[in-house]
Structure 1
Amino acid sequence: MSTADTTDNAVRELLLVMPRLVGRVKRLPLPEQLRSLDLAPRHLSMLSLLLLDGPLTVSQLAGMLGVAPTTVSLIVSDLSRKGVLVRREDDADRRRRIIDISPDSRPAIAQWLSPGARAWRHALAPLSPAQQRIFVDTLLRYEAAVSTPTRTAPRRG
């Protein structure tokens, strides 16, 4: 079997599995406490980082999310008003703010996001660190490729 055939088979399999995967993730039940908060994907990413890494500064969150600090500040303000996040002064530098999930919201957010983190750990566990990096890099290249508009060739005929 040629490399092109192998790649086409892998593409075919991924085109079948990706909609199922996205559908299953979308069907994860949102805990009652979070339903009225109108959470968007940008909130999910930030909450995931705070759940996995603990309290972070706005600058750290911005760097990890690949967005401007002002964008993070807006999201933090929104989620702070809703009682999901808390801000406190950094003891080492009073000008900086440390962002964390509020104690009241942490159990609901963990209930919502932990199954996805467990599933990724299970899927990645058999891979070596180098293979895990290849997998993540592949997903990032896929994301970039589907985010970039492509020019279509003019139709003949």
Structure 2
Amino acid sequence: MTADRTEGPLDRLGLLLAWHGRISDAWIRRALSTTGLTPRHAMTLMHLGTDPMSQQSLVDKLDVDPSVLVAILNDLEGGELVHRRRDPADRRRHIVEITPEGLLTLGTLETALTKVESELFADLSQQERTTLRDLLNRVASTPSDYEC
């Protein structure tokens, strides 16, 4: 290490993202606790909020193993927030749709998330929030062959 090095740990983008991610995760989990949902449950309901979709489409959108999605859907179905049915056009395929109770819960979680985001990003303008969203969408978030 050289004497003129001035970078601290929070000058490292990966560490800074992890640090703020941990904080954001804690705030979001606390806000969602009123609904009994986890962030994965919330993401699933949000994807289903507009239209029903196949289980495989949800696997792709959430980027989870199919067995993980089954567990998420079991939880949501147990709470009567979603319903699974066979696709009449292809009996091997399951269609997942949000229930009326799920739509009410979705409204509650949207309100909770809006409040958290307002607090988290209070010091950012709307344009800065848009830029941050665009940049984060470009950050690689799937595992590579890199080994620590």
Distance 2:17 2:45 in 1: 28
Find the counterpart in structure 2 of residue 42 from structure 1. 40
Shift of 1:86: 1.1
Find the counterpart in structure 1 of residue 3 from structure 2. none
The structure that is helix-richer by fraction is: 1
Which of these residues, 78, 87, 110, is aligned with residue 81 of structure 1? 78
- Whether 2:104 is the aligned partner of 1:103: answer no
- Whether 2:58 is the aligned partner of 1:61: answer yes
Shift of 1:77: 3.2
Shift of 1:58: 0.5
Distance 1:40 1:16 in 2: 20
Q: Secondary structure at the match of 1:140?
A: coil
Where in structure 2 are there 5+ consecutive unaligned residues? 1-5
Distance 1:134 1:126 in 2: 12
Find the counterpart in structure 1 of residue 109 from structure 2. 112
Distance 1:82 1:128 in 2: 34
Q: Secondary structure at the match of 2:101?
A: coil
The within-5 A match list for 1:1-157 is 5=7, 9=11, 11=13, 17-28=20-31, 30-31=33-34, 34-35=35-36, 39-51=37-49, 53-90=50-87, 93-95=89-91, 96-116=93-113, 119=117, 125-126=126-127, 132-138=133-139, 140=141, 150=148
Give, as a single letter, the amino acid of the residue that structure 1 aligns with 2:109. W
TM-score by length of 2: 0.60
Where in structure 1 are there 5+ consecutive unaligned residues? 151-157
> Paired residues, what number?
136
Distance 2:147 2:84 in 1: 39
Distance 1:68 1:13 in 2: 28
Distance 2:125 2:53 in 1: 25
Shift of 1:90: 3.6
For the Cα contact (< 8 Å) 1:55–1:99, is it kept in 2? Answer: yes
